[in-house]
Structure 1
């Protein structure tokens, strides 16, 4: 399903941009002095049609890609939350940055930001480890 949405979104975005480019490419013909009234009318219709077709296709394709990105971010967030809760249960409420980073395959900075956010959300306390790391203590 994701592949179909990606392909449809890509086609819509490409087609929309193609219409818009054709539309804006025809704008120069509107102001040309040597064009007949029929040519100017045809250019005006081309610009109008290009905009009328290009904007919805471009917006639709962009919306599809935005929805896919939002869904992907939600899946990542859910996976991270699940990993976080599993570690907490296994370690009786104790977790450090390295444990989360290794289990969730995150960079250390991102794992630390996540733990700081969760510690504020759940009123966790802290204690230093023997290695000098911070251990987050969540009361389960």
Structure 2
């Protein structure tokens, strides 16, 4: 659905923005032959075929951006809740793999998230014999 909405927004913007450009080229190219009646017709064409698709395309693009922002905020909140739940269950000790598996995110993203939280919450680090880093968050 998002792909269709993106394609439709792009097509509307492309079509809607090209009409005023073509009308301007026509008006400039006509020179002295451009009459008031042509001007009225061009104005109607600009509104109907230019403004409407441009407005629709702009609204679709804004709607996509707004939806993406809401989804991103929702995912951040879910990650935060998963992090807090894991901290309670693990008594404050958490590894990157535990968080990545529970939050279903890539290892690199889990490491970046835990590094950020470690700085904010003053966590300490321990390294296991296997080389895994254990984040120790104060509860």
TM-score normalised per structure 2:
0.78
- Aligned with 1:32 (options 6, 24, 29): 29
* Pairing 1:1-140 to 2, within 5 Å after superposition: 14-33=11-30, 36-38=33-35, 40-42=38-40, 44-45=42-43, 48-49=46-47, 52-140=51-139
Q: Mind listing any 5+ residue stretches in structure 1 that lack a counterpart?
A: none
Distance 1:129-1:95 versus aligned 2 partners, 3 A rule: same
What is the RMSD of the two structures over their aligned residues, measured on CA atoms? 3.0
Unaligned residue ranges in structure 2 (runs of 5+): none
Query: Aligned residues, how many?
Result: 137
Aligned pair in 2 of structure 1 residues 94, 55: CA closer, same or farther (>3 Å)? same
Cα deviation, 1:15-42, whole Å, max 9, x if unaligned, reads 4543222222222211124773236514
**Conservation of the 8 A alpha-carbon contact between 1:26 and 1:43:** no
- CA separation of 1:43 and 1:24: change in aligned 2, threshold 3 A: farther
How far apart are 1:62 and its partner, in Å? 2.1
